[in-house]
Every structure is written in C-alpha cells, then in structure tokens.
Structure 1
C-alpha cells in the first residue's frame, strides 16, 4: 500500500509540473520561423536531419528521484515513516550539425555524474532519405551511435554489476543502431499538426563477454506541433532477450562467491514520458519532460526478508526456487525524472521544409484573422 501511495504521489507531482509548463508556454511562447529540421523529442529521434551547415547547441540536465518509499525498507521503523527522496541532478551538453543534405552528426556528454566523476560521452551519425528538404508524410532514417561510459557504478542495484538506477550500464563502449520511422500528418493534412514517431534499435556492448546482455530499444512518440510550442508523449523500453523466459545473470562478488539472479520481461526498464517545448523568435527553445517508471517487479525483491525466504526455500517464489535462484532482484530504477534543456542556434539558414511547416502552423492558430492595413501596404511596396 505504501508503494502504491508513493507512486501515485510521484505521478501527481509530475503532472502538476507538466500543467504549469503548459500554462507558461501559452503565456510566454512566441511565434518564430527558426526551426531545427533534425530536432528530437527526448529519446524519440525524427527521421529528418539538421539542414546542411546548421549548428545547434543544447545544455541542460537530468534530475532523478530513485529511492524507495521508507515503508519498503527493512531499516526504517513505522514511527519514522515520511515521504523523502534521494534526488540527483546531472548536467548534460549536446551539439549537433548538418553534414550534408541528408545527414547530421551529434556529440553529447555528461561531464559530471555519480560521485562527481565523469559520466559518458557519445557521438552519433543520423542519415535520412534524400528528400530531407521537403515535408514528407512518410519519413525513414537510420542512426548509428557510439557511447563510452566511465563507470559501472556506484550505485548499483543489489550490488549487481551493470544494474544502476539509470538502467543497465557497464564501463566501456556500446554501439546503438536505430531504424527511424515517422508519419508527419501536417504534410498530408495541412491542418493536422501531429507526428507519430517510432525508433527500433539494438544496443551491443563492445566488450565481447557482455554480448549476451545486448538490449532491444524501442521508443514510440506522439507529437503535437503548435507555432510557439510542442507537446509530446513517449513510451520507451530497453529490453533484454527475455520475452518468453527470464534472463539469467551471474557474477562473482568480492569473496568470489557466485551470484545468480533473474530479470523478467516486466522488470526491463520502461518509461512513459510527458514533455513539451517552448519556442522563441530567434530560434531558442526551452524543453522539459517528465519520464515516469512503468517497470513492474516479478517474484522476489531486494530485501532482507525476501533473501531469507529464498534461503529457506519457503515456496514464496516458486519460479525462482525452481530455477535454483538464491539472489533476489527487482527493478529499482529511477522512479521519475525531470529533464530540462535549452537549445540555441549557433549557425542557421532557413530550410524550405521548416519554413513551410512554420507557415502552416501559423495558419492553424485559433486566432481571429485581423488585417493591419499599414503592414499590408508596406509589404506591397516591398
């Protein structure tokens, strides 16, 4: 019951932040025609690429709330129960540029992470169809990303290598391939500014011993574009190959004792995210998104009580006991996040496609048509 109340409170807090952002975007968002052709929406990559020669800089950070509610911890007595969070905030930077008419490159970094140590750095190449300078109803793209992480932990979930509050992360490199599919209904129906985006990929560690821990990546997003702001919903999943059977992990601890645990499909890291952008006249953009954890535990969880039940073979967790499991596991990932980003153009030249998009979105505004005759005459004179 305590876990459910705590989760509902987290969802309410996230929704409240999102509603405040929506009101603020209506008050302060202003029309502008400077748009990045290759922009992404949180983890959802569009099929388009940044226009040739354009350079954009983004900086912001990720805030975490990942602790369990005290009622679920063995070391906390009932008279000490109160809501609290273990919050973290990590800065991140990104720069991306259009290489040619159908390609772009992105460099990202988290310079400071857990224990005030360097986090990760990555480079990504994204390619799209040659008709990148046109609004397309159906868009297809491909991205290849290499990321290097400087740590396995701490912290780790249960002391198990690779399992951190942010997902399965191991020290060293990993390669991510993604197929990008997009339906842009504004190109098909000029009054329907909706995008449907799907990214399907595979993440493979460069360490050959970890190839069996490769993950399937899925991001599905729905985006509503307005002239001065955007709203989007996204579902993301990072799954091991455990669709039909749980995946078995093994490792040796400091005493050289072998640990062995299971990860079920519902324990894969998955999030539902709400987010939005506010655009300003010269191209600057403020983004905020709130991912909320959907992962669900199966069988035992990481606690002293469940460890004792497994040791006694009590029958409380029949599937794990049948497989000879003596080490509990549960998806103790970040319960919810706040991701904020400010993006500014360093070098920009308007593309035909985004000029058309801006014009169509301007026409779709729910505002009465007003004629400024002085402005009209000035335009005629030009």
Structure 2
C-alpha cells in the first residue's frame, strides 16, 4: 500500500530502524493513558456509572484504541493514532448526572457515535477538512505542542533530582547518538520513576476488569444536552485537530473510512460504558513527527507498536492504572516534551514559511497555545477558526 507522505511502497525496515518508531509508539501509549485515564474514570462516575462500570468502559476503550490504531497502521501505512475523547470526558464531568441517569448517558454515547458515522459518510466534511491551509494546520499543531514542550523546563524547576538527569541524557544523546535520543531519554526517565514510585501490593490481582454491558435508554432531553455536545466536542476538539496534525506532517488519509470506523468503535464502546474514540492529536504528533523516524514512509511502525501497546494496557488495565498513577505526571510530560521538540520546530517553520499567511498563522498559534475553551470546545478548533477568519479577511475583495 503506498504511503501518502511519499507515494512509495513501504519497505521492510533495515536492522535497527525499528527502535525510534517503537519508542515513539510506546511513549504515545504511556502519555495518552497517563494524561487522562483518571478523567475518563471521573467522567463516567459523574454520569452515574458504578466503579465496575467505569472500569469496564476504560478496558473496552483501551482495547478499541489498540485494535483500530493497529488496523489503520496496516491498512494505510500512515501514523494514524487513535485516542479516547478527553474533551468528551471533561464534558461528562461538567454535565453531571443526566436526566434518566446512567442508562440515558449510555444512550447519549450511542447517539454521538451514530453522528460520527454520519460525518464519515458525508463527503463534504472530508473536503472541508482537506481545505485547511497547511500554514494554519502547522500553526495549530505548534500551539498544541508548545505547552507540552515547556514541561521539561517546569520539571527541572520543580523536581531537579529526577528531571535534570533526563534532560541531560536527552541533550547528550541528541549530540552523539541523535537517532536514539528519545529511546535513551525514556530509559533514564523509567529509571527515575522506578526510584521513587510506590507500587501497590497485589498487582497480580489487577488484570482486566469484568465487562459490564450497559443497556442504553434514549431520553430526548439527554440526547440534546449530552449526546449532541459530545459529538461536537469530539469532532471539533479531537478529529479536526488530529487530521490537521497529520496534514502538517504530510499525510492526507481519507476522512470517511476513519470516521465510520471510529464511529462504529464508539458505538461498541458505548455499550460497555465508554466515551467515543477518535483521532489523536498530541499522540499523533509523537508518532507522525520526525522524531518517530526520519523517513515519513516508516513512521507508521510507531502506530503499529502503539496499537499493540494499548491492547496490552487493556489486558492489564488494573496494573497499568496503578503503575502509571505511581509515576510523577510532570516527569512523563517532560519526556513527551523532549520528544516533541523536533515536531514543534518543524511546525513553526511550516507555519511561518508563507509571508502572506504569516500573521494568520501566528494568530492560530497564539489561540491554540492559550488553551482556552468556549462552549465546551477546545482551543485547537477556535485557533483554526480565528486564523481562518483572518486569512479569509485578507483574501476578501
């Protein structure tokens, strides 16, 4: 299958070339899971799920993310990373117990999943996303990455004994063994985590939770107050930025099959208490950027590893939750920030390359980096809207 980034058929990786993408994929699993799994559990609990139902939802989400990511990697030979809807989980926390309780919330999950499938079957949506100028897509990506790339600085200031060796290892590896800078950094960070983590006893009992089938109830009020907003924030704050991240790195996968597949996956997830699944943004940058592999045609290996990693996490959901909880979150963010510095540089270069589009790109970057949210929709969407409006104003005659 040809790669969209190069047009050439992928070749068997030579010896040693798998280390970079494998590390990027594994780091994507750690960052993606650690950064928001507590938000998923809290959101499900807020809409009335029991601890067993919330654990079931998390397990199915991890399993679906792994299967879909691995499937897309084999199908498209592109680094298409899948994630759960973190903005959707935040929306659950803000909404609280809906009318009709947890069964009505599950019905709203199913409704949002059906709308995602409809978006995939609507070609006009794909054309609209494909029309986003590369300068704005790159600027939005830079704004998303900017805050995370500050994490190493904050980590050194707040926990110098743990973070300083990690940053030093990255700098030395970048100078003397650049292709292995991220893998070596992760090894040093893992050693630092092991030195301070307090692991709970009885990890053998922390395997996958029992599946808890959720019987959906369609309550019109909850479909409008939860289902429709859940669809909007998932598309605007996850899928659109995810496509923009891929575009900024030279990949233009077809939107229809992706949305149909993630919509159907979201429907399965809903039946076991899970929020929708969608394209990843920051995780996609880890897998699709130059730090994953110098050759764009080989970066899909990272999402193949990412998919396998999430399946393993699903089978060890309890243990993975306990182990990740024991790690300092800022240190994990610092490793991700170091790995994404190259992507940030590339995104800024592409965003500012066209002098006529430079100011709209700067506006896009500023809004995305601000992290502001309005009407339940995150900054990446508003960044594209602001930059696009300014660009349209400049081109209007």
TM range (shorter): under 0.3
Structure whose residues are more often helix by fraction: 2
* TM-score of the two chains, using structure 2 as the length reference: 0.22
Structure possessing the higher radius of gyration over alpha carbons = 1
Structure whose residues are more often strand by fraction: 1
